[in-house]
């Protein structure tokens, strides 16, 4: 083999591995970060089916939307606003990926190799057969009355729901009472199984939920949403304001007491007056 052929071959191998690695990266990112909400050719989930999305929008638009859909929507971009309204004003989370990484994801989407979304659809099929048992199991898991098999945090440490069956007070993340109406069981199951939000993802990355837990939690959130109209909202905000006022009063009172009990005179005043008494 002559040297030129050798070089050409090496170059070919180089480009080939490069493509594989980067196409792999696009697939990886899609599965970890996007598949909870999007399918490629399997229909609408939380967000739109992304098959052929490249025919709808320029690459530049897609990259900036995927980086920060919130910025795009706030800027008044008509296409971004329209799709935001169409999807019940659910915000797609912002991402910290580089342009190159996002382009890899877009390439993966248009490569047509990934038909994602079967898992979520399968969950929905199972969900049709769930009953009261699943709901009460889900409630126990949600509130932490029952431990998650792999030791993940109870949902109530971050979320709350308006449901008198469950005491929940988490305020770090969204109230989930209405989530089912917004994203359906496929959306919830997809998110719970593979959380696309950094904070929630970090809580479960080493403590994945089992398939049954995903189903029970989804069944529970569905039932919360269906019963929501009958529920008196468990709203603690006023009692917290009241507690705040009491604590504030106590602090003010003790400052006043401390103020009146303070030493008003110089440290050597007693000594001096005793001394002057002796002299007099
Ligand atoms: C939490 C759910 C969620 C996640 C995760 C998510 N998206 Fe979205 N996405 C949406 C929703 C909802 C919309 C519809 C627009 C809106 O509501 O802002 C959307 C819209 C889009 C659009 C515009 C589609 C169109 O037809 O104009 C693209 C492109 C997109 N997402 C790509 C991605 C990519 C790539 C990822 C992964 C890096 C991702 N999304 C992760 C929910 C999500
Ligand atoms: C460590 C905190 C944390 C824990 C624990 C947690 N989540 Fe989340 N979750 C979040 C954050 C943050 C979001 C992103 C939306 C937001 O800011 O509220 C989110 C979003 C969601 C969403 C999408 C809501 C929407 O309207 O976009 C669902 C559904 C959800 N969580 C379900 C659950 C369930 C079920 C559990 C228990 C298995 C759980 N979460 C545990 C932090 C958490």
DSSP 234-252: ---HHHHHHHHHHHHHHHH
* Any ligand 2 atom below 6 A from CB of 21: no
Residue 118 has pLDDT above 60, yes or no: no
Look at residue 279 in the predicted model and tell me its pLDDT. Answer: 58
Residue 280 has pLDDT above 70, yes or no: no
Enumerate residues lining ligand 1, CB below 6 A. 29, 33-34, 36-38, 46-48, 50, 53, 56-57, 62, 65-66, 69, 83-84, 87, 90-93, 95, 105, 196
CATH number, position 158: 1.10.760.10
Q: Which residue has the higher pLDDT, 279 or 68?
A: 68
**Closest ligand to the CA of 46:** 1
* Any ligand 2 atom below 6 A from CB of 159: yes
The region that residue 112 occupies, defined by phi over 0 for left and psi between -120 and 50 for alpha, beta otherwise, is: left
Residue 157 has pLDDT above 70, yes or no: yes
Look at residue 204 in the predicted model and tell me its pLDDT. Answer: 94
Digit-coded pLDDT (tens) for 16-25: 665 555 568 8
Look at residue 273 in the predicted model and tell me its pLDDT. Answer: 77
- Ligand 2 nearest atom to the CA of residue 148, by list position: 38
Residue 140 has pLDDT above 70, yes or no: yes
Q: How far is the CA of 245 from the centre of ligand 2 (A)?
A: 31
Asked if 76 and 146 sit in the same domain, the reply is no
Asked if 213 and 253 sit in the same domain, the reply is no
- The residue whose CA is least distant from atom 39 of ligand 2 is 155
Look at residue 218 in the predicted model and tell me its pLDDT. Answer: 93
Digit-coded pLDDT (tens) for 204-254: 989 999 989 999 999 999 999 888 766 555 555 566 677 778 888 888 888
Q: How many residues does the chain have?
A: 280
Domain count of the fold of the chain: 3
Give the pTM: 0.68
- The residue whose CA is least distant from atom 9 of ligand 1 is 47
Q: How far is the CA of 226 from the centre of ligand 2 (A)?
A: 19
Enumerate the β-bridge partners of residue 70.
none
Digit-coded pLDDT (tens) for 72-115: 999 999 999 999 999 888 888 888 899 999 999 999 999 877 66
Q: Which residue has the higher pLDDT, 267 or 94?
A: 94
Ligand 1 pocket: which of 26, 36, 37 to mutate (most atoms <8 Å of CB)?
Answer: 37
**Closest ligand to the CA of 215:** 2
- Residue 143: pLDDT band with limits 50, 70, 90: very high
Domain boundary among 111, 143, 164: 111
Q: How far is the CA of 124 from the centre of ligand 1 (A)?
A: 21
Asked if 202 and 274 sit in the same domain, the reply is no
Range of the domain at 261: 239-279
Look at residue 152 in the predicted model and tell me its pLDDT. Answer: 94
195 and 36 in contact (C-beta within 8 Å)? Answer: yes
Look at residue 24 in the predicted model and tell me its pLDDT. Answer: 81
**Closest ligand to the CA of 196:** 1
Look at residue 19 in the predicted model and tell me its pLDDT. Answer: 57
- Residue 169: pLDDT band with limits 50, 70, 90: confident
- Ligand 1 nearest atom to the CA of residue 88, by list position: 17
Look at residue 42 in the predicted model and tell me its pLDDT. Answer: 83
Asked if 155 and 74 sit in the same domain, the reply is no
Digit-coded pLDDT (tens) for 95-107: 889 999 999 999 9
Asked if 103 and 123 sit in the same domain, the reply is no
Residue 128 has pLDDT above 90, yes or no: no
- Residue 4: pLDDT band with limits 50, 70, 90: confident
Asked if 27 and 88 sit in the same domain, the reply is yes
How far apart are the C-alpha atoms of 61 and 203, rounded to whole Å? 32
Q: What angle do CA 264, 266, 269 make, to 5 degrees?
A: 110
Residue 171 has pLDDT above 80, yes or no: yes
Domain boundary among 87, 111, 135: 111
Look at residue 229 in the predicted model and tell me its pLDDT. Answer: 63
Q: How far is the CA of 36 from the centre of ligand 2 (A)?
A: 12
Asked if 125 and 221 sit in the same domain, the reply is yes
Asked if 126 and 226 sit in the same domain, the reply is yes
In 128-178, where does DSSP find H-type helix?
132-143
**Closest ligand to the CA of 64:** 1
Asked if 154 and 73 sit in the same domain, the reply is no
Domain boundary among 83, 111, 139: 111
Asked if 94 and 32 sit in the same domain, the reply is yes
Residue partners of 141: CB distance under 8 A and separation at least 6: 148, 154, 155, 213, 216, 217, 220
Look at residue 48 in the predicted model and tell me its pLDDT. Answer: 92
- The residue whose CA is least distant from atom 18 of ligand 1 is 84
Asked if 48 and 13 sit in the same domain, the reply is yes
**Closest ligand to the CA of 146:** 2
Asked if 226 and 257 sit in the same domain, the reply is no
């Amino acid at each position: 083999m002559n040297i030129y052929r050798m070089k050409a071959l090496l170059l070919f191998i180089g480009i080939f591995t490069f493509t594989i690695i980067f196409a792999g990266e696009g697939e990886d990112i899609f599965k970890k970060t996007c598949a909870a909400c999007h399918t490629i050719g399997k229909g609408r989930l939380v967000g739109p089916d992304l098959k052929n999305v490249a025919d709808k929008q320029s690459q530049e638009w897609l990259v900036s939307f995927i980086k920060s859909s919130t910025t795009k929507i706030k800027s008044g971009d008509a296409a971004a606003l329209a799709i935001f309204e169409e999807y019940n004003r659910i915000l797609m989370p912002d991402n910290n990926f580089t342009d190159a990484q996002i382009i890899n994801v877009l390439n993966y989407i248009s490569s047509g190799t990934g038909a994602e979304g079967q898992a979520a659809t399968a969950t929905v099929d199972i969900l049709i057969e769930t009953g009261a048992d699943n709901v009460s199991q889900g409630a126990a898991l949600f509130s932490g009355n029952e431990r998650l098999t792999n030791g993940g945090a109870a949902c109530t440490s971050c979320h709350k729901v308006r449901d008198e069956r469950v005491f929940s007070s988490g305020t770090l993340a969204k109230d989930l009472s209405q989530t089912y109406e917004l994203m359906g069981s496929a959306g919830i199951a997809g998110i719970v199984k593979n959380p696309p939000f950094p904070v929630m993802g970090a809580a479960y990355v080493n403590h994945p939920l089992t398939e049954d837990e995903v189903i029970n939690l989804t069944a529970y959130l569905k039932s919360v949403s269906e019963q929501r109209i009958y529920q008196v909202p468990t709203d603690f905000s006023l009692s917290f304001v009241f507690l705040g006022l009491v604590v504030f009063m106590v602090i003010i009172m003790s400052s006043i007491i401390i103020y009146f009990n303070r030493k008003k005179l110089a440290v050597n005043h007693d000594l001096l007056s005793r001394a002057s008494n002796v002299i007099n």
